């Protein structure tokens, strides 16, 4: 499986499951977002925004737009990083980009500083004294996460089999939050 193979399959499912996809983000918009973030998007994530659409598709609540008016990946990252820095318990690590809002303050997020682009689940309801308790590994890579969506086998599906693996604690959370 390569990006060249995965992106067209994601695009086909996005067109089949979304009534009106927004236009894709341009290369300049992606470059501006990366400059504002201070890090590059993983190549697969950049390809999705550039070649499929600027959000509006994906599992259940759908990917947030990277840029534009309203709630975006960029605005949510800034908001979570700011709230984490100002609160009593730091909880949002640098380089972890929220890409999908699951509701109830939960996010799917991509670790942009990890070469595999691990997809994490942020579940703040699990947080007690330590912000690291809120982080779980949803998929070892963005490609794996997308394959799960394409196959309809994600843990988030109401009809998910009992044997579907649920997210596990993110072991690097505490050290990444402390950076």
Q: Please, what sign has the CA dihedral across residues 77, 152, 133, 124?
A: positive
**What's the pTM?**
0.92
Is residue 83 a contact partner of residue 92, using CB atoms and an 8 Å limit? Answer: yes
Angstrom distance (rounded) from CA 123 to CA 92: 11
Q: What is the pLDDT along the chain (179 residues), one digit of tens a residue?
A: 566 799 999 999 999 988 889 999 999 999 999 999 999 999 999 999 999 999 999 988 899 999 999 999 999 999 999 999 997 889 999 999 999 999 888 999 999 999 999 999 999 987 777 888 999 999 999 999 999 999 888 877 655 556 666 788 899 999 999 88
Spans of all domains in the chain: 3-148+164-178
Name the fold adopted by 3-148+164-178: SMI1/KNR4-like (3.40.1580)
């Amino acid at each position: 499986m390569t990006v060249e193979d995965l992106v067209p399959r994601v695009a086909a499912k996005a067109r089949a499951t979304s009534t009106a996809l927004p236009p894709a983000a341009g290369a300049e918009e992606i470059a501006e977002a990366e400059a504002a973030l201070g890090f590059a998007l993983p190549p697969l994530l950049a390809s999705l925004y550039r070649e499929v659409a600027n959000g509006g598709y994906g599992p259940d609540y759908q990917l947030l737009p990277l840029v534009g008016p309203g709630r975006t990946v960029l605005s949510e990252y800034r908001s979570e990083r700011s709230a984490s820095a100002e609160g009593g318990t730091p909880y949002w690590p640098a380089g972890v980009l929220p890409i999908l809002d699951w509701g109830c303050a939960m996010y799917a997020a991509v670790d942009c500083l990890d070469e595999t682009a691990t997809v994490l689940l942020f579940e703040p309801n699990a947080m007690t004294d330590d912000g690291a308790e809120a982080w779980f590994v949803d998929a070892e890579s963005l490609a794996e996460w997308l394959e799960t969506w394409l196959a309809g086998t994600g843990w988030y599906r109401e009809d998910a089999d009992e044997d579907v693996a649920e997210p596990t604690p993110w072991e690097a959370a505490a050290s990444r939050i402390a950076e």
